[in-house]
Amino acid sequence: MTDIIHAAERIAQLRKEIEHHNSLYYVEAKPQLSDYEFDKLLEQLIALERQFPDLVTPDSPSQRVGGAITKEFVTVIHREPMLSLSNTYSLGEVEEFYNRVKKLLALEGVDEQEMVAELKFDGVAISLLYNDGLLVRGATRGDGIHGDDITVNIRTIPAVPLKLRCVADGEIEVRGEVFMRKEDFEQLNESRPEEERFANPRNATAGTLKLQDSAEVARRRMSFVAYYLKGIRDESTSHFSRLEILEKLGFSTGNHYQLCLKLNDISDFIAEWSEKRWKLPYETDGVVLKLNAVTFWDKLGATAKSPRWAIAYKYPAQQAQTVLLDVIFQVGRLGTITPVAELEPVLLAGSIVSRSTLHNFDEIERLGIMIHDWVVIEKSGEVIPKVISVVLEERPLGAVSIVVPSHCPECGTPLQKPEAEVSYYCTNEEECPAQIRGRLLHFASRNAMDIKSLGKALVDQLVATKLVKDVGDLYFLQEPQLEKLERMGRKSAQNLVRALDESRTKSYERLLYALGIRHVGRATARELSQAYHSLEMLSHASEEELSTVPDIGPVVAHSICDYFAKPSVPLLLEKLRDARFSLCASESTTQVNRNFEGLTVLFTGSLDRYDRQTASELIIERGGRVVNSVSKKTGLVVAGHDPGSKLDKALKLGVRVLSEEEFEAML
């Protein structure tokens, strides 16, 4: 009895200490412990709770580590619609919004208005429900009416209280944004192969929330900021006061919000944070303005998608001028030569930029760019900035033309440029180190064979030491060979061998994509796997036969035949057979239904409930095909958030357009 009393006291002490340090790190941004010290506290708590399982409670910090595998997320209905905000890049439109609200309030007999200005976090919106202070549900926005119940993933986020700090009887709802701090995002990307890295923190967050392995979600260290509170006793409480209540309940509100009494206050806030935001430890892309008087929100109402009492001002793309110091030439896995600009380091959008891709030599000609030119670079939601123009009036006398290289910078082979193409190529496919490295990394990538232990640094060593010349050689590596490599001990060698062994179980369709045949992406690999059930059959198909397969035209057919005609390919396939690969399809899966039978479907914009690959697979399972361009033959276009020019083209052509909700219903 004494033991359990002492354990309960120690558990209570550890929980309090852990939640205190969670709050310091994720809410107050004032960490006091190293990750190692924090992990030790958590390990002590987990060990005690395993010893005394009756002492485990739902709000214990140990319940954040995840571990449950969710086969699918249950759909839930929001208490009130989760509307998205109208966006503007214009201060003039902000003024129009302000005056419009002022006019609507005047109709209600209100002469003055207060607005709350908040920073716009670049993350993923979610809804949290608490019952008597305990977290009972976390859900995605979805289509605004329906969302996914992702409580198992939300519980792993340290900035989301499992139990509210203050007494809160009954049910309350908190809405906010899940996001990833810059430091945590960089650590996540560093742990992944280069070709599998996320483009930006928002993409990483959105992808993480959809994972069905909550233990992996917990490892990715996401954060949360609250900006909405519903269910408190006094519904007349202003929005500004509700933000203060959220902080007392244990939430981060970002701390950088302000009550604006006049239009000038709003413009000053926007101007102030235009530069200051880059010093923050997380990404922000604008300012959200909300009417402070919550009692008038319902009276002002909403359009079909957005409330009339709020608007989001988004900062325009950031630009800077710098000098082009040099151009280097990178070699891709298919031998493509890509020019890369080496720039005089310059601060842009909060980070130092010293490099930018120039895409191809046609782009260099279009820009009219020369070495030593002053150039304008831009960064708009992209990790890698782009050169958008040359400052011709600043061109120095010593400017040097960019000359197309005649030989491969990696192996010295003369370059070739096929007719009707913009790129130059190294044709030394079998011996060029850069191409070998590229093929290995592509083979190991997430959508191919998903060999997590095979990253860029290790691939560089394997190629440099000539241990591996093609992907088949990977499966004959021995642990003693690997242990001799730099930064590779016994455990790392064992992990790689184990990962390689596991990759043998990947599908025939994935293997087709992993081989890296030119023009064969994931969608084409799926079509090929359905038309030719083995690599043996595919290798003997003629261009004419291949052209009858959906989504495969003469160019792709020629590329496939060209691949299998190479002398090295039969040897590679023989290595894979010897490595116990099954070079054929398993039994075909049963078609779910025929709801998309004969339809070609295109996706544009981002979806809330599906990633693009999953959505495509659902179409194919129902008899449809997924395409990447719009034409009169396109059967359907599914439009998500921020659709591009493809939507405009579809509307002009009269192609049927579905929302995500309509698409889901059709499934």
- The overall pTM is greater than 0.85: no
pLDDT value, residue 70: 59
* Least confident residue range of 45-59, 210-224, 288-302, 546-560: 45-59
- What's the pLDDT score for residue 474? 95
- Residue 345: band (very low, low, confident or very high) from pLDDT cuts 50, 70, 90: very high
Are the C-beta atoms of residues 291 and 274 closer than 8 Å to each other? no
Domain annotation for the chain: domains and CATH numbers = 2-64 (1.10.287.610), 87-312 (3.30.470.30), 318-416 (2.40.50.140), 433-578 (1.10.150.20), 600-666 (3.40.50.10190)
Q: What is the pLDDT of residue 56?
A: 75
Mean pLDDT over the full length of the chain: 85
Query: What's the CA dihedral at 241, 246, 247, 253 to 10 degrees?
Result: -90
Nearest one of 183, 296, 192 to 236, comparing CA atoms: 296
Side chain identity at residue 599, one-letter code: L
Least confidently predicted of 245-249, 313-317, 401-405? 313-317
Q: Which residue has the higher pLDDT, 288 or 353?
A: 288
Q: Look at residue 414 and tell me whether its pLDDT is greater than 90.
A: yes
Alpha-carbon distance 330 to 333, whole Å? 10
Cα–Cα nearest to 636, from 667, 663, 605, 606: 663
Average pLDDT over residues 465-485: 94
Task: Give the pLDDT confidence score for residue 24 in this predicted structure.
Answer: 66
* SS3 state of residue 213: strand
Q: 241: closest CA among 293, 286, 316?
A: 293
Yes or no: say if 443 and 449 are a contact pair by the CB < 8 Å rule: yes
Report whether pLDDT(398) > 70.
Answer: yes
The CA distances from residue 188 to 74, 196, 445, 607, in Å, are 28, 11, 16, 23
Under the banding of pLDDT at 50, 70 and 90, the label for residue 195 is very low
Q: Hey, is 326 helix, strand or coil?
A: strand
Average pLDDT over residues 121-130: 93
Task: Pick from 356-360, 394-398, 622-626 the range whose average pLDDT is largest.
Answer: 394-398
DSSP 330-385: EE-TT-BEEEEEEEEEEEETTEEEEEEE--SHHHHHHHT--BT-EEEEEESS-SS-
Residue with the larger pLDDT of the pair 319 and 407: 407
Band (218; pLDDT cuts 50, 70, 90): confident
- Rounded to an integer, the average pLDDT of 186-215 is 76
Total number of residues shown for the chain: 667
3-state per-residue secondary structure call for 389-442: EECHHHCCCCCECCCCCCECCCCCCEEECCCCCCCCEECCCCCCHHHHHHHHHH
Structure tokens at 399: 């400017």
Specify the 3-state DSSP secondary structure of 119: strand
Please check the confidence at residue 146 and state whether its pLDDT lies above 50. Answer: yes
DSSP 8-state symbol, 195? G
Beta 625-626 vs 600-604: how paired, if at all?
parallel
Percent of the chain with pLDDT over 90: 43
Active site positions, annotated: 120
Burial of 127 (0-12, 13-18, 19+ CB in 10 A): buried
- 565-593 tens-digit pLDDT: 999 999 999 999 999 998 888 755 556 67
Amino acid type, 50:
R
- Give the number of other Cβ atoms within 10 Å of residue 31's Cβ: 13
Q: What angle do CA 641, 645, 650 make, to 5 degrees?
A: 95
pLDDT band at 214 (very low <50, low <70, confident <90, very high): confident
Parallel, antiparallel or unpaired: strands 374-379 and 318-331: antiparallel
Q: When comparing pLDDT for 599 and 349, which is higher? A: 599
DSSP result, 19-81: HHHHHHHHTSS---S-HHHHHHHHHHHHHHHHHSGGG--TTSGGGGS--PBPSSPPEEE-SS-
Q: Which of 56-60, 273-277, 429-433, 543-547 has the lowest mean pLDDT?
A: 56-60
Nearest to 421 by CA among 336, 494, 487, 504: 336
Instruction: Give the span between the Cα atoms of 365 and 472, in whole angstroms.
Output: 40
- Pairing of β 656-658 and β 636-639: parallel
State yes or no: pLDDT of 265 exceeds 50: yes
* Tokens at 123, concatenated: 């993350």
Across 513-536, average pLDDT: 86
What are the φ/ψ torsions at residue 73 (nearest 5 degrees)? -95, 135
Cβ neighbours of 337 (radius 10 Å)? 22
* Mean pLDDT of the 480-484 span: 91
